[in-house]
Amino acid sequence: MKDALKLAFSPCPNDTFMFHAWVEGLIDTQGHQFEIKMADVEELNQSAMKEDADITKLSFSAFAHVADRYELLTSGAALGHNCGPLLVSKHNFKWEELSQVKIVIPGKYTTANLLLTMFAPDAKNKKELVFSDIESEVMNERADAGLIIHESRFTYHQHGLKKIADLGELWENKYKCPLPLGCIAVKKSLPPEVKIQLNRLMHDSIAYAMKYPKASADFIREHAQEMDENVQQQHISLYVNQWSLELGEIGKKAIRRMMEEGTIAGLLPNTEVVFVDELKKLVN
């Protein structure tokens, strides 16, 4: 029997939707066994710095810091249009005032924080918090503003919060390409044929989820932070799309653009992005 590979992803609805068929063995896993870990995306980002998992969900911002040790699957990404992190507050304030505003963020290595730093470099009064606690921190005025991701973008207005800026909109207006948010990475040290199998597994798991969208409902509900099923479905519909199934050239170019712009801004190390599908020639 093959040794179990460590697989890590978040409990967010888009991830549990995509990984359900994989984890439950509803698709051919090529004889591989998996040890599963589920954690908040920033915890996954930090774990990747220590190479804890063989296959892991990551923020694209974090990937830049581990690209010497990990490569990207071409399936499983969260990337698209109108899906960016939002800066919200109980109060109105001008963009120029961000340098004086206390902002709670979902983690240093999140793509959300990368975007905020790119577009508002003077906004340095930040506090890291698990994404699901950010809304209440702002509602209770322990912070002036919050950078929200995941399900929170569908619920913030119900809690009396106002949108100050959509960072995805800023990205798309400036760079004219989809916004890369999260990815699935695999260890470079794995054999090329195994990485290619894992890429196929991710693709097949998503394809299964899209063909049988109700099959994962219990699995999603079991792990979701936000229990409203309409919110869960909105989350999945927004973050699981054609680029999740297969990045294609448009998706790859958007990712490389983010790596380049982050490097130019001095926020990311110079990064060589390797996609697993480019390894096929090594095993043919």
Catalytic residues: 150
What are the E-state strand segments in the chain?
5-9, 34-38, 55-59, 70-72, 78-80, 86-89, 103-105, 126-128, 145-148, 162-166, 179-187
70 phi and psi, to 5 degrees?
A: -130, 155
Report residue 242 as tokens.
């054609």
Strand partners, 35: 6
Quote the tokens at residue 225. 């932070």
What phi, psi does 182 have (nearest 5°)? -135, 160
Structure token digits, residue 53: 């998992």
**Between vectors from CA 276 to CA 272 and to CA 281, what angle results, nearest 5°?**
105
From the list 240, 197, 172, the residue with the least C-alpha distance to 28 is 197
- Cβ neighbour number for residue 114 with a 10 Å cutoff: 24
- Is 165 strand, coil or helix? strand
